Amino acid sequence: MPLGVFFGRMSFRARPWWAFLCFLCLLAPFGASASTYLDELIGRSRELRLSERRDWNRLMHYASNLITPGVHGLADARRFYLAPDGKADPQSELEATLAAFFSDIQETDKEQNPQCAFIARYAWLDRQLKFDPARLPRQPCRRFSEWRATLNPQGVTLIFPSAHVNNPSSMYGHTLLRIDAKDQDEKTRLLAYAINYAANTDETNGIAFAINGLFGGYPGMFSMMPYYLKVREYNDMENRDIWEYELDLSPEEIDRLLMHVWELGPIYFDYYFFDENCSYYLLELLEAARPDLDLTGDFRWWAIPSDTVREVVKQKGLVRKTVYRPSNATVIHHRLELMNGEEQAFVSSLSRGRASAQDPGFAALSPPVQARVLEVSHDYLSYLRATGRSPVEQPEELARKLLVERSRIGASASDPPVPVPEVRPDQGHGTSRIGLGGGRRDGANFVELRVRPTYHDLMDPDAGYVRGAQIEFFDFAVRDYSGGMGARVEDITPLSIVSISPRNEFFQPLSWKIDVGWARRRLSSGDEPLVFGVHGGPGLAWTVPDTLRSKTLVYAFLESTLQADTRLENNYALGIGPSIGALIDFTDRWRAEPYAREQSFFAGDTDTAWSVGLRQRYTLDRDWALRLDLSRERQEKQSWNTVLLSLHHYF
Amino acid sequence: MKKILIAVVISALPAFAFAQQNNIGSCGWGAKLFDGQSGVVPQVLAVTTNGTSGNQTFGITTGTSGCTQDGVVKSTWKTAMFIDGNKDRLARDMSIGNGETLDSLAHLIGVREEDRATFGRTMQANVSVIFPSGSTTDDSVVALKQVLRSDRELAQYAASI
Question: Taking CA atoms, what residue in A is nearest to B105?
Answer: A188
Mean pLDDT score across all residues of chain A: 88
Distance, in Å, from the CA atom of A75 to the CA atom of A69, rounded to the nearest integer, reads 19
Q: Is residue B80 part of a domain?
A: no
- For chain A, helix, strand, coil in percent to 5 are 35, 30, 35
Distance, in Å, from the CA atom of A355 to the CA atom of A346, rounded to the nearest integer, reads 7
8 Å CB contact between A259 and A315:
no
- Type and span of the H or E element at A82: none
Collapsing DSSP states into helix, strand and coil, what is residue A191?
helix
Partner-chain contact B3 A35, CB within 8 Å: no
pLDDT for the residue numbered B136: 67
pLDDT for the residue numbered A218: 72
pLDDT tier, B148 (very low <50, low <70, confident <90, very high otherwise)? very high
Partner-chain contact A26 B5, CB within 8 Å: yes
Question: Taking CA atoms, what residue in A is nearest to B108?
Answer: A191
Partner-chain contact A83 B19, CB within 8 Å: no
Task: Choose between A522 and B16: higher pLDDT.
Answer: A522
Q: Is residue B37 part of a domain?
A: yes
A487-524 tens-digit pLDDT: 999 999 998 989 999 999 999 989 999 999 999 999 98
Nearest alpha-carbon partner for A166 in A471, A583, A591, A561 = A471
Interface residue of A78, A187, A263, A408 to substitute, partner B, most B CBs within 10 Å: A187
Q: Give me the domain span that covers residue B57.
A: 2-74
B95 lies in the same domain as B46 = no
B66 lies in the same domain as B106 = no
Distance, in Å, from the CA atom of A383 to the CA atom of A412, rounded to the nearest integer, reads 22
What are the extents of the domains in chain A? 1-25, 31-140, 149-325, 339-407, 428-650
Mean pLDDT score across all residues of chain B: 69
**Residues in chain A closer than 8 A to B75 (CB atoms):** 150
* Last residue of one domain, picked from the residues B25, B48, B74: B74
- For chain B, helix, strand, coil in percent to 5 are 60, 5, 35
pLDDT for the residue numbered A605: 93
For residue A185, pLDDT over 60 is answered with: yes
Query: In angstroms, what separates the C-alpha of A281 from chain B's closest C-alpha?
Result: 16
Q: Is residue B64 part of a domain?
A: yes
For residue A418, pLDDT over 60 is answered with: yes
Phi, psi of A449 (to 5 degrees): -115, 125
**Residues in chain B closer than 8 A to A21 (CB atoms):** none
pLDDT for the residue numbered A203: 60
A582-628 tens-digit pLDDT: 999 999 999 999 999 999 999 999 999 999 999 999 999 999 999 99
B67 lies in the same domain as B98 = no
Question: Taking CA atoms, what residue in B is nearest to A92?
Answer: B3
**Residues in chain B closer than 8 A to A198 (CB atoms):** 57
Question: Taking CA atoms, what residue in A is nearest to B92?
Answer: A403
pLDDT for the residue numbered A22: 42
For residue A31, pLDDT over 70 is answered with: no
Q: How would DSSP label each residue in A487-501?
A: EEEEEEEEEEEEE--
B113 lies in the same domain as B140 = yes
Q: Is residue B114 part of a domain?
A: yes
Partner-chain contact A232 B89, CB within 8 Å: yes
**Residues in chain B closer than 8 A to A2 (CB atoms):** none
pLDDT for the residue numbered A169: 65
Nearest alpha-carbon partner for A437 in A475, A472, A478 = A478
pLDDT for the residue numbered A21: 39
- Nearest CB partner across the interface for B61, out of A23, A266, A396: A266
pLDDT for the residue numbered A595: 98
Distance, in Å, from the CA atom of B143 to the CA atom of B136, rounded to the nearest integer, reads 13
A338-353 tens-digit pLDDT: 999 999 999 999 999 9
Chain-centre distance of CA A175, in angstroms?
6
| Range of lowest pLDDT (A28-42, A154-168, A327-341, B6-20) | B6-20
Nearest alpha-carbon partner for A244 in A365, A155, A369, A356 = A155
Average pLDDT over residues A632-647: 96
Interface residue of A18, A23, A26, A79 to substitute, partner B, most B CBs within 10 Å: A79
Collapsing DSSP states into helix, strand and coil, what is residue A599?
strand
Partner-chain contact B8 A112, CB within 8 Å: no
Distance, in Å, from the CA atom of A26 to the CA atom of A103, rounded to the nearest integer, reads 7
- Nearest CB partner across the interface for B72, out of A79, A97, A224: A224
A99-135 tens-digit pLDDT: 999 998 999 888 899 999 999 999 999 999 999 999 9
Partner-chain contact B62 A191, CB within 8 Å: no
Partner-chain contact B95 A35, CB within 8 Å: no
Chain A segment 167-206 residues within 8 A of B by beta carbon are: 183-184, 187-191, 193, 196, 198, 200-202
Q: Could you tell me which residues come within 8 angstroms of residue A76 by beta carbon, excluding any fewer than 6 positions away?
A: A219, A268, A269, A270
Domain count, chain B: 2
Distance, in Å, from the CA atom of A329 to the CA atom of A401, rounded to the nearest integer, reads 21
Distance, in Å, from the CA atom of A214 to the CA atom of A199, rounded to the nearest integer, reads 11
Cis amide linkage into residue A545, ω under 30° from 0: yes
8 Å CB contact between A288 and A282:
no
Domain A149-325 belongs in CATH node 3.40.50: no
Chain A segment 489-518 residues within 8 A of B by beta carbon are: none
Q: Is residue B132 part of a domain?
A: yes
Question: Taking CA atoms, what residue in B is nearest to A85?
Answer: B3
pLDDT for the residue numbered A313: 94
Chain A segment 230-289 residues within 8 A of B by beta carbon are: 232-233, 236, 261-262, 264-266, 268
pLDDT tier, A647 (very low <50, low <70, confident <90, very high otherwise)? very high
B67 lies in the same domain as B30 = yes
pLDDT for the residue numbered A204: 58
Interface residue of B1, B2, B13, B111 to substitute, partner A, most A CBs within 10 Å: B13
Domain A428-650 homologous superfamily, CATH: monomeric porin ompg (2.40.160.40)
A134-177 tens-digit pLDDT: 999 999 999 999 999 999 999 999 999 987 777 776 677 788 99
* Last residue of one domain, picked from the residues B20, B49, B74: B74
Q: Could you tell me which residues come within 8 angstroms of residue A591 by beta carbon, excluding any fewer than 6 positions away?
A: A459, A583, A584, A585, A616, A617
B117 lies in the same domain as B92 = yes
Distance, in Å, from the CA atom of A204 to the CA atom of B54, rounded to the nearest integer, reads 16
For the CA atoms of B108, B112, B114, B119, the dihedral, rounded to the nearest 10 degrees, stands at -40
Partner-chain contact A147 B69, CB within 8 Å: yes
A246-268 tens-digit pLDDT: 999 999 999 999 999 999 888 87
pLDDT for the residue numbered A435: 97
Q: Does A151 touch chain B (CB under 8 A)?
A: yes
pLDDT for the residue numbered B16: 26
Q: Does A77 touch chain B (CB under 8 A)?
A: yes
8 Å CB contact between B48 and B33:
no
Distance, in Å, from the CA atom of B155 to the CA atom of B148, rounded to the nearest integer, reads 5
Query: In angstroms, what separates the C-alpha of B17 from chain A's closest C-alpha?
Result: 10
B130 lies in the same domain as B150 = yes
For residue A245, pLDDT over 90 is answered with: yes
Distance, in Å, from the CA atom of A420 to the CA atom of A424, rounded to the nearest integer, reads 9
How many contiguous H segments (helices) and E segments (strands) does chain B have?
11, 4
Query: In angstroms, what separates the C-alpha of A425 from chain B's closest C-alpha?
Result: 24
8 Å CB contact between A244 and A178:
yes
pLDDT for the residue numbered B134: 72
A169-181 tens-digit pLDDT: 667 778 899 999 9
Q: Is residue B99 part of a domain?
A: yes
Q: Does A397 touch chain B (CB under 8 A)?
A: yes
pLDDT tier, A458 (very low <50, low <70, confident <90, very high otherwise)? very high
Task: Choose between A77 and A329: higher pLDDT.
Answer: A329
A531-540 tens-digit pLDDT: 999 999 999 9
Distance, in Å, from the CA atom of B146 to the CA atom of B143, rounded to the nearest integer, reads 5
pLDDT for the residue numbered B159: 85
**Residues in chain B closer than 8 A to A82 (CB atoms):** 7-8, 10-11
A51-64 tens-digit pLDDT: 999 899 989 988 88
Partner-chain contact B104 A191, CB within 8 Å: yes
B98 lies in the same domain as B124 = yes
ipTM of the complex in this document: 0.84
Q: Is residue B96 part of a domain?
A: yes
